[in-house]
Amino acid sequence: MDAQVVATIGAILSMVSNIPQVYKVRKPNSTMDLHSYTVTLHFLSAFVWSVYGFMLNLYVLAIESGICGGLHLLILLAMYRDGNLCFNKQKREYLSKSKTHKNEIPVCESPKKGSIGPDKL
């Protein structure tokens, strides 16, 4: 099998794997189970891979990574819409004041009143 065919198949599978998550977050308040750091790292890595692909004229990699980055950007925008981003000053203050145990991972709290958060599940 030609390397270009394998690259194209991998690119299609990589892009398609992100579509169910984008479809899920189209509804308001549907991003509570996602962490903004993870999605941001996926977005940044896709951007870097896309730049790398264009620099080496590897257009399958560049375009696939660009599309995946765009899909992750849509997820981040949905998280912003739901108020589920961990990048604000209030969240940093909360994390610095909280007394977490070694095995406890702090989670983002929704700033919206009345929404379902981790404490109400």
Domains and CATH numbers, the chain: 3-120 (1.20.1280.290)
Model confidence, pTM? 0.69
pLDDT tens per residue across span 67-101: 999 999 999 999 999 888 876 545 555 555 655 55
| pLDDT confidence of residue 100 | 55
- Give helix 59-82 / helix 36-55 axis angle, nearest 10°: 160
pLDDT, tens only, 50-73: 999 999 999 999 999 999 999 999
Q: Can you give the pLDDT at residue 99? A: 55
Backbone angles phi, psi at 50, to 5 degrees: -65, -45
